[in-house]
Structure 1
Amino acid sequence: MRRRLLLVVGIALTGALLTGATPSPDPTTAEDEDPIRSQQYWLEDYGITQAWETTRGAGVTIAVIDSGIADGPPEFEGAVIGGTDVSGVGTPDGRTPVDVINRNHGSQVASLAAARGTGEDAGMIGVAPEANLLSISLGFGASATVPFSEQVAKAMVWAVDNGADIINLSFTTNRTGWDESWDEAFLYAYEHDVVVVVAAGNRGSGTDVVGAPATIPGVLTVAGVDPEGRASIEASTQGITIGISAPSERLLGVTLDGKVEGWKGTSGAAPIVAGVAALVRSAHPELNAVNVINRIIQTARTPPGVTRVPDPFYGYGLVDAAAAVETNVPRVTQNPMGSLPRWIELNRRKEVGPQPTPTVTPVEIPPLPPAEPPAAAAAPGLPTADSLRYGTLPLVALSGAGILVVLGGIATARRVRSARVRRSPGNL
């Protein structure tokens, strides 16, 4: 019977709001530059604007499985092409945020991946501004009527069935294991050639170790760095499953009411990488998911001081969108982030297959001798041959011998007595 691990506690979004105000213009920028665009430092620093000379992600669909992408902000006009709700409390299109505390989270995540701005050079713009979005709303903790593990499994399958090329998961369960239903859901994504990008989690939010789904083999787990490219201690978690790093501090995100606010966390680092994956898939539609992931990690920039990769703080390094799009990378056949089928084979209960039919070599046994015929029935009270042989005859023999011994003793005694009489003094 399949085990069910209900993840009803320890679920955390991997981003935190920093301020409720629209970011102030950077005083070092030109007066005619949009104040929001000027603060999106990752666009230039991580090769994204250079990659836009080749592609902006057209023809690729990113599924954001989160609290829901708000319907209304102009940055999402024409970007969201479909959605659904798996929480049991949202709207059928997945556009009504369902989380009570973090209702902006899904919109912030989506804006980093594929926001389209508010004009040609105005408003927040995502890494892949021409990519399409799918909004799948799920609830965290008590904000849903459906168990969280069931929501995620259902959301993964729906995303695949509705055309997702990339799935972004910006949450953690704060535990390394996961429900067995996720085995099938993530396998379904891999079998349908979907890139799955997952946030590593944040120490500042109480995540001390990388937890599922970032521990599932085959996903591209994203750690966070500060604006200088150093591993973020508060806005990221470190571990051996890290595949790539991206900015997780001084980020911007679009809220459900259309504001652009600052936030931090690997919840933002993950969609930046999901956007890079969309650029790669758009520029190289012939590549499968395994080679998209491989391109991203093989073209990453090694941080100063790192001598071996993967590194528990940075994975294979800092994501470089231009290099991932433009570099000639040899193709691979195995997912560098691991094999979920192999993991399942080693760690889940195996099904018992057909057993071989045993072969037995016949052994010849000599026949038993024929049984003796039964003895004739005798009258009750008469001795049988066996009783005579083993009972009566030995008894008679022993009795006869005893009688002879007694008689011999009597005769001897008489002779002795007679001899004494003859020798007595009276008879001399």
Structure 2
Amino acid sequence: MTPRHQRSRRTVSAALAALLAGGSLAAALFTAPAAFADSWRDKEYWLKESGISNAWQVSKGTGVKVAIIDSGVDGDHPDLKGAVVGGTDVSAAGTPDGQKGIGAKAEHGTLVATMLAGRGHKTATASPSPSASPSPSAGAAADGPDGIIGVAPEAELLTVSTWLGSPNPGGKSDEDQIPDAVRWAVDNGAKVINISLGSTSTQWPQSWDAAFLYAEQKDVVIVAAAGNRIGGSIQVGAPATIPGVLTVAGLDRSGNASIDSSSQGISIGVAAPAENLVGGLPDGGYAEWAGTSGAAPIVSGVAALIRSKWPEMSAKQVINRIVSTAKDAGTAGKDPIYGFGVLDAEAALKADVPEAEANPLGSIADWIRIHRRGDFSTPTPEPSESPSSAEPTLPDPTVPVAKAPARVDDALPAVVVLGFGGLFLAIVIGAAVQLRRTYKNPPAVPEDPDTGTFSRVEPPTPT
């Protein structure tokens, strides 16, 4: 921390952990009074470096609903005024509108929301002129000069609060909350769902299958964080391992794969900034933080920009447009560190991208058909039961079928037995004939077997 920060801000730090199924995402928080809001805008380096400000020439996300499944979003934050248009709680421990922060880190959802769809604000003056007053319209995008401006500042937000990271007083487990949250988001018009939560397990409960399939069949883009090594996620964990989900890895300030604020795995689709991030806090303050929790809403915001520009574009084409325009990094082609490459929002909105035949990140419907042996040709109803463990994501192994040991008399046909008997008899007869010949015509016997020299030498034939 610089001396300037020490002089000008009251700073506190805390571990940010959004736990899901035993895993965690971590980040460092640095809170500051809202009076310094205008300085936070200058820290949003990704708006320019990731091509977002140029992408705004095409779209700002108007008319697209984005659901944030997280700890709850404070719609009263100055930068989110009018942005939150609906919400719910699936934990049985929050408020009905999902706008109360809950769980181990109640501020997490608001941090994510401001980065995705923050609208900034205009700081009030002592004698404001009528023309300078912010519009009271609830749905208007303020785009004020102060505070956080999100990637899709004209998008609308749905908040779904979940209780994660500590024992839930509402009694609902992660297995129940996540599928309920996904279904509610789909049913309430979300075209993009952001899940900045993750786990250290590549597997997911079977109870999640139907909900993610439902979202796929309803043509919804789901974006998930890859997880952070500093939080224990060495490899990508669920739900970011679910086929069809756009998984986001993290970059450091120089644009390289982050050591702490990222992980790796074959399901990664694209990489986005994950260090030196800033976002809003429920009390109206701001924070510096890090993690793929913040990289995910950057990508979700770009998905919202695309869906606003092309409302009829399918989810698989939205994902294809994002990953196919990414700047290749690391190993040539898709790799487990950067996925298809580094996010380029301007190219995603402006480039000529051929249509893809399928989602480049797979399909949960195909996975279920193969691994769960299910038939999901039509949208599925609510699952009747929620098993506590998930099937592995690898193909089922092929195991030889064991057979009972066979008895010798059953295993060897009679013809084989007779054949071996005849062969043995021929050997005995042959040996007897050879012995008889030996006795009739004995060979020359050496006189001195110890020396190894012949005792008899034929004289030379006279010439």
**What is the TM-score with the length of structure 1 in the denominator?**
0.75
Structure-2 change in CA distance of 1:36 and 1:339 (3 Å): same
Describe the SS at the equivalent of 2:289: strand
Task: State how far apart, in whole Å, the 1-side matches of 2:332 and 2:339 are.
Answer: 10
Task: State how far apart, in whole Å, the 2-side matches of 1:341 and 1:10 are.
Answer: 26
CA RMSD after TM alignment = 1.8
Q: How does 1:214-229 map to 2 (within 5 A)?
A: 214-229=240-255
- Report how far residue 349 of structure 1 moved: 3.7
Paired residue for 1:328, among 330, 337, 352?
352
Task: Give 1:266's aligned amino acid.
Answer: T
Task: State how far apart, in whole Å, the 1-side matches of 2:70 and 2:20 are.
Answer: 16
Q: Paired residue for 1:110? A: 113
Structure number with bigger Rg? 1
Task: State how far apart, in whole Å, the 2-side matches of 1:136 and 1:314 are.
Answer: 29
Aligned length: 334
Task: State how far apart, in whole Å, the 1-side matches of 2:324 and 2:33 are.
Answer: 37
Structure-2 change in CA distance of 1:23 and 1:319 (3 Å): farther
Q: How does 1:212-361 map to 2 (within 5 A)?
A: 212-303=238-329, 306-350=330-374
Task: State how far apart, in whole Å, the 2-side matches of 1:201 and 1:108 are.
Answer: 16
Q: Do residues 176 (structure 1) and 202 (structure 2) align?
A: yes
Describe the SS at the equivalent of 1:253: strand
Q: Do residues 35 (structure 1) and 39 (structure 2) align?
A: yes
Deviation per CA, 1:251-272: give whole Å up to 9, x if none: 0010110111100000000000
Q: Do residues 45 (structure 1) and 49 (structure 2) align?
A: yes
Task: State how far apart, in whole Å, the 1-side matches of 2:162 and 2:309 are.
Answer: 31
Task: Give 2:29's aligned amino acid.
Answer: L
Task: Give 2:167's aligned amino acid.
Answer: A
Does structure 2 conserve the Cα–Cα contact (< 8 Å) formed by 1:66 and 1:105? yes
Q: Do residues 69 (structure 1) and 81 (structure 2) align?
A: no
Does structure 1 conserve the Cα–Cα contact (< 8 Å) formed by 2:26 and 2:230? no
Deviation per CA, 1:367-407: give whole Å up to 9, x if none: xxxxxxxxxxxxxxxxxxxxxxxxxxxxxxxxxxxxxxxxx
Q: How does 1:365-404 map to 2 (within 5 A)?
A: none
Does structure 1 conserve the Cα–Cα contact (< 8 Å) formed by 2:228 and 2:263? yes
- Report how far residue 145 of structure 1 moved: 1.5
Describe the SS at the equivalent of 1:297: helix
Q: Paired residue for 2:181? A: 155
- Report how far residue 286 of structure 1 moved: 2.3
Structure-2 change in CA distance of 1:129 and 1:337 (3 Å): same
Q: Paired residue for 1:359? A: none
Q: Do residues 58 (structure 1) and 58 (structure 2) align?
A: no
Paired residue for 1:209, among 210, 235, 243?
235
Q: Paired residue for 2:407? A: none
Does structure 1 conserve the Cα–Cα contact (< 8 Å) formed by 2:20 and 2:197? no
Describe the SS at the equivalent of 2:94: coil
Q: Paired residue for 1:87? A: 91
Task: State how far apart, in whole Å, the 1-side matches of 2:369 and 2:190 are.
Answer: 27
- Report how far residue 319 of structure 1 moved: 0.6
Describe the SS at the equivalent of 1:171: coil
- Report how far residue 297 of structure 1 moved: 0.3
Task: State how far apart, in whole Å, the 2-side matches of 1:191 and 1:281 are.
Answer: 17
- Report how far residue 8 of structure 1 moved: 7.4
Task: Give 1:113's aligned amino acid.
Answer: L
Gaps of 5+ in 2: 1-18, 123-143, 376-463
Task: State how far apart, in whole Å, the 1-side matches of 2:288 and 2:107 are.
Answer: 12
Q: Paired residue for 2:140? A: none
Deviation per CA, 1:147-202: give whole Å up to 9, x if none: 11110000000000000000000111211111112110001001111000000000
- Report how far residue 350 of structure 1 moved: 4.5
Task: State how far apart, in whole Å, the 1-side matches of 2:40 and 2:160 are.
Answer: 27
Structure-2 change in CA distance of 1:171 and 1:8 (3 Å): closer
Q: Do residues 19 (structure 1) and 45 (structure 2) align?
A: no
Structure-2 change in CA distance of 1:11 and 1:139 (3 Å): farther
Deviation per CA, 1:114-161: give whole Å up to 9, x if none: 011013322111000000000100011413420111100000000000
Task: State how far apart, in whole Å, the 2-side matches of 1:158 and 1:165 are.
Answer: 12
Q: Paired residue for 2:167? A: 142
Gaps of 5+ in 1: 1-6, 26-32, 352-428
Does structure 1 conserve the Cα–Cα contact (< 8 Å) formed by 2:20 and 2:198? no
Task: State how far apart, in whole Å, the 2-side matches of 1:20 and 1:236 are.
Answer: 23
Task: State how far apart, in whole Å, the 2-side matches of 1:15 and 1:284 are.
Answer: 35
Does structure 2 conserve the Cα–Cα contact (< 8 Å) formed by 1:281 and 1:287? yes
Does structure 2 conserve the Cα–Cα contact (< 8 Å) formed by 1:23 and 1:262? no
Task: State how far apart, in whole Å, the 2-side matches of 1:92 and 1:23 are.
Answer: 28
**What is the TM-score with the length of structure 2 in the denominator?**
0.70
